[in-house]
Amino acid sequence: MPITASAKKALRQSVRRRVCNLTRSNAYKTAVKELKKIVSSGQIKEAQKLLAKAYKSIDKAAKTGVIKKNKAARLKSAAAKLLVIKG
């Protein structure tokens, strides 16, 4: 356990940041999984709506530093390819 006041504050901050990072991480992962599920079932119209949702969650994760820019670009590219191939 932290002893100094600054270490106690750093622990509080890291716990708070971890919660936010996990929320963002789970959000983009869930959005991508939903998109894959909808595309595999053949519902292209719904998939296009979910693509925007996936893009938004991926961009937010990249913006806040949960994932890096290149990973975000890769994820978005893969999501777009799903629609092109199936659609």
Q: For residues 8 and 75, what is the distance between their CA atoms, to the nearest angstrom?
A: 37
Per-residue pLDDT of 33-86, as tens digits, reads 999 999 999 888 899 999 999 999 999 999 999 999 999 999 999 999 988 877
User: Can you give the pTM of this predicted structure?
Assistant: 0.86
Amino acid at 20: C
User: What kind of architecture, by CATH, is found in domain 5-86?
Assistant: Up-down Bundle (1.20)
Q: What whole-number distance in Å separates Cα of residue 65 and Cα of residue 55?
A: 15
The structural domains of the chain, with segments of one domain joined by +, span: 5-86
